[in-house]
Amino acid sequence: MSFDAYDIELHGHPMVYRQAGSGPPVVLVHGMVNSSRHWEKVALELADRYTVIAPDLIGHGDSAGPRGDYSLGAHASRIRDLLAAIGVDSATLVGHSYGGGVAMQFFWQFPQRTERLALISSGGLGPEVSPMLRSAALPGASALLSLVANRRLVAALAAGGARLHERESPAGVYVQALARAMQPLTGPGARHAFLQTLRSVIDGRGQRVAANDRLYLLDHAPTPTLIVWGGRDNTIPLAHGREAHRALPSSRFEVLDSAAHFPHLEDPAGLARVLGDFLETTEGAPIPDSDWGGVIGGRSAPRKATSASGANQAT
């Protein structure tokens, strides 16, 4: 079985996605400086029972990188448009890192299209994030990236990481992850898209976009939710996953001890096993538009607004 690439034009710009298998649809959303290619091993593990669809987000992989909106909502809307264009009404959304934020945003915007939600080492669940990402969000990062993201340096990092990995050095996986992150940034267009995407959610103090105040919606909704984290994640703390699970007690929570921040690359068999069990033992539950108001209003009923200026106006 193959994980074939397709391209489609959306709003005047080419978007690439990969697809494998047949059955109920599962959408795999990659993180920053990743692409659909990075899901291949997980996708092929799931493809015997599911139609697996993995888009290249705009500005990533082989999709176009135009000037424009790189917010979470814009990425979620493009995934909605892609699914509509290829005839998929609803799907399970699986998001890794930044892609977890996109997947959550997809649920908030399109609950009637979301059957299940799986968050893998997800962003958007707390302010803490690696110093490298905070630094990349600072002014002047574009010039620095153009210096360090050159092909020779990235190749040297990749080779050094491979040697360390062969020697079973714990540093090997981190050096390889750094090289993997830098490789897509060797072109100026890719660096621009990366910075636009990064700065939409991170600043010098950490993650500035959080979904914590809306996790209650998932607890009130029938949509099954899975949270998975790499036990050795130094990019986004494991504590974020644990805290999200506490805030969302109806969710499942799994830790892959051998993985760091990229479980789909570091332990694809383990991640595929966890995802497969989640898919097989839950029922997809999109929320009709007619029911969404009840989910949102589950905490409190509307009340008439008053203001000091209004109270003092003459009648």
Catalytic residues: 97, 233, 261
Q: Give CA–CA dist 97/224, Å, rounded.
A: 19
Residues 6+ apart with CB under 8 A from 281: none
Which tokens in the block code for residue 18?
Answer: 């990969």
96 in Cβ contact with 30 (< 8 Å): yes
Q: Torsion angle of alpha carbons 259, 133, 196, 187, nearest 10°?
A: -80
Q: Which of 78, 76, 72, 74 is nearest to 93 (CA)?
A: 76
3-state secondary structure of 21: coil
Q: Give CA–CA dist 293/256, Å, rounded.
A: 36
CA-based angle 289:292:298, to the nearest 5? Answer: 165
Q: Give CA–CA dist 165/108, Å, rounded.
A: 40
DSSP states of 116-177? EEEEES-SSS-S---HHHHHHTSTTHHHHHHHH--HHHHHHHHHHHHHHHHTT-THHHHHHH
Q: Give CA–CA dist 264/99, Å, rounded.
A: 13
